[in-house]
Structure 1
């Protein structure tokens, strides 16, 4: 459910919604979501001073029973990924 919700929120923000991909990994420290977006949309999902990214984390955290999820944003096609 969280993956679908996160994907829905991000697709509503970006100019290239078909390029949005969300995956999840379970690590010792908890769940990590990786959100891949088109390079032109990377600035949109991060926002000024990271405000949009933080808002996305807040929404997903509220859906995840108040937990603070780790969400990494990555440009599709970026060499080595440019995560934040």
Structure 2
């Protein structure tokens, strides 16, 4: 999941070298934290949160396949 979020974020931002993705795994849920540069936060969130919602949808579908729930936290 961490690699998936990293690849998507790198395609969207202007400063891909500043992306930091951390994953905290639990027994039933994983929390994935995506940290990007301040000037790239708008590109990750998108208009009215549409891009962030799309990323979370992809993450939800991928995590359902491995039978583990994942939550994405975006940090600016």
What interval of TM-score do these two structures reach, taking the shorter chain for normalisation? 0.7 to 0.9
The equivalent residue for 2:9 is 10
1:42 equivalent to 2:41? Answer yes
SS of 1:6's partner is helix
Structure number with higher helix proportion = 2
- SS of the equivalent of 1:64 reads helix
User: Unmatched 5+ residue regions in structure 1?
Assistant: 76-84
1:72 aligned onto 2:73: yes
* Structure 2 unmatched ranges of 5 or more: none
Count of residues paired in the alignment: 74
Taking a change above 3 Å as real, the CA distance of residues 7 and 55 of structure 1, as seen in their structure-2 partners, is same
- TM-score calculated relative to the size of structure 1: 0.78
Q: 1:34 to 1:10 in 2, by over 3 A?
A: same
TM superposition outliers: structure 1 runs of 4+ over 6 Å: none
For the residues of structure 2 that align with 1:22 and 1:47, how far apart are their CA atoms? Answer: 19
TM-score (ref. length: structure 2): 0.86
Distance 2:12 2:69 in 1: 21
